[in-house]
Amino acid sequence: MNAANEMSSSFTAVSENEAFARVAVAAFVLPLNPTMEELTEIKTIVSEAVTNAIIHGYGERRGIIYLHCKIIGDRMELVIEDHGVGIEDVDLVRQPLYTSRPDLERSGMGFTIMESFVDEIEVDSAVNRGTRLRFVKYIRTPQSAARYEV
C-alpha cells in the first residue's frame, strides 16, 4: 500500500445513516491496523460530523452528505461535507459547550471532541452554501492490530 487508497461516499442525510458512515470509514481504515482507541476516535469524528450535517446543516430538509477518505502510508485524510445552511461564525461555534440548539439537548461538545481526536482540522463554511470539514489523522500504531469482523 504505497499508492493512495481512496474512498468516496455520498448518502441521504438521515439519522439511520450515522452508523453506516462510522462503520464504512472504520472498515476502510482497518487495513492500517489501527488500535481500538484510534478506531473509536475515527468513528467518533465521523459520527459528530455526520450528525451535525443532519441536524444543523439540513435540519428539516432532506439532503446529501459527502464523505471522502484517503489513506497514504499512516496518514488518513477525511472530508465530510454538506450543502446545507452553513455556519456564520466559525470561531463562535467551535467553542466548547456552544450550541445553537439547546432545545434539542445538544451538548455543544461536537467540535471540541473532533478537535481533540485528530491531528489537523479545517472548517470551511459559507452561509446557505454548506459546510466542509477536513481532518488529518495519523494512525501511529500500525503494529498493534485491532481485528473486527462484520
Ligand X SMILES: Nc1ncnc2c1ncn2[C@@H]1O[C@H](COP(=O)(O)OP(=O)(O)O)[C@@H](O)[C@H]1O
The 3-state DSSP class for residue 103 equals helix
HSE-up of residue 80 (Cα within 13 Å, Cβ side): 25
Rank residues 75 and 94 by Cβ distance to its own copies and give the closer one.
Answer: 75
Restricting to residues 13-52, name those near other proteins by CB under 8 A.
15-16, 18-19, 22, 37, 40, 43-44, 47-48, 51
Restricting to residues 87-146, name those near other proteins by CB under 8 A.
97, 104-110, 112-113, 116
CA distances to 26, 27, 30, 41, 42 from 150, rounded to whole Å, are 11, 9, 12, 19, 17
The CB-of-61 to its own copies minimum distance in angstroms stands at: 12
Catalytic residue among 5, 106, 115, 134: 106
